[in-house]
Copies of this chain bind each other. A is one copy, B any other.
Amino acid sequence: MNDQQLNIQPLTPDAFAPYGDVISAAEATEVININEGNTQRFDNLANLKISSGNGKPCLSIFRSRPLSLPITIYGMENHPLASQAFFPLSQRPYLVVVAPPGKLNETRIEAFLASPGQGVNYHPGTWHHYSLALEEESDFLVIDSQMKQSNCDEITLVTPRQLRL
């Protein structure tokens, strides 16, 4: 089994657009002043799809333990029926590993380095690795959907990928 190395790119809205939204005040396009001028609302930061069908919007916190170095990923997951948003509650960077929807094409797996203050919202069907905290155990606020039917496909990679930090 030969691992392949995966380069890590900075997370930007443009580069991440095929997979979902970057959730960030710094990169917001709609900003309004509310509350007598005491609050800026950075609005509509993600395209949430969490209430279609019988899905029920769900708010949770994920506490993620960093994987051992060198980080090697062996599988991906996919929620075909709903989006899933993660926002970091720590001031630490973390990794985001994704691939386009549809039949998984392993050659199209991409890895991004998210900065503190940047969240991600995976669109329905985007292949992604689970939360990849770095440095220390880190919390993420998560907004997804709970439903009775199955909404998680998992796949094991033919060729594991080692992340080149």
Against B, the Cβ 8 Å flags (1 = close, 0 = not) of A28-51 are 100000110011111111101011
The stretch of A1-9, A10-18, A58-66, A100-108 in contact with B is A58-66
List the number of copies, as a whole number: 2
Structural contact, B23 and A59, CB atoms closer than 8 A: yes
Q: Is the CB of A60 within 8 A of B39?
A: no
Contact B41 A48 (CB under 8 A): no
Collect the chain B residues with CB atoms within 8 Å of residue A35's CB: 64, 130-131
* A35–B152 CA distance with the chains assembled, in angstroms: 12
Pick the contact of A38: B41, B60, B67 (CB < 8 A): B67
Minimum Cβ distance to chain B for residue A114 (Å): 14
A97 close to chain B: CB less than 8 A: no
- With a cutoff of 8 Å between Cβ atoms, the chain B residues found around residue A34 in the complex are 62, 130
- Chain B nearest CB, measured from A120 CB (Å): 12
Closest to A24 in B: B61
Measured in the bound complex, the distance between the Cα atoms of B60 and A87 in whole Å is: 11
Question: Which of B39, B51, B117 contacts A64, CB < 8 Å?
Answer: B39
Can you show 25 pairs from A to B with CB atoms below 8 A apart? A23-B61, A25-B63, A25-B139, A34-B62, A35-B131, A38-B67, A39-B62, A39-B65, A39-B131, A41-B61, A42-B60, A44-B60, A44-B146, A45-B59, A45-B60, A45-B61, A48-B56, A48-B57, A50-B57, A51-B51, A57-B57, A57-B143, A89-B117, A141-B141, A143-B143
Task: Name A residues whose Cβ lies closer than 8 Å to a Cβ of B.
Answer: 23-25, 28, 34-35, 38-46, 48, 50-51, 56-65, 67, 85, 87, 89, 117, 119, 121, 130-131, 139, 141-143, 146
